[in-house]
Amino acid sequence: MKTLVRFAKCESGATAIEYGLIAALISVAIIASLNLVSGSLTSVFTNVSTELNKGAAGAGAGGG
């Protein structure tokens, strides 16, 4: 009987569930913000890639 009473008073399981819910909420917020920013990040990396390709083409044409 004492074990059952002690089990009923134990809140460690509830605390673990709360931490799990908080972690899930933070994960959802991170995923949502990455979805909002992904379009602009794609354009930035495309521009960087284009400029690097222009630089590489220009350096190869001059010969040294």
Give the tens place of pLDDT for each residue, 6-30.
Answer: 766 777 777 888 999 999 999 999 9
In the prediction, which pLDDT does 41 show? 84
In the prediction, which pLDDT does 61 show? 58
Q: What is the pTM of this model?
A: 0.50
Percent of the chain with pLDDT over 90: 38
Query: Read out DSSP for the chain?
Result: -HHHHHHHH--HHHHHHHHHHHHHHHHHHHHHHHHHHHHHHHHHHHHHHHHHHHHHHHHHHH--
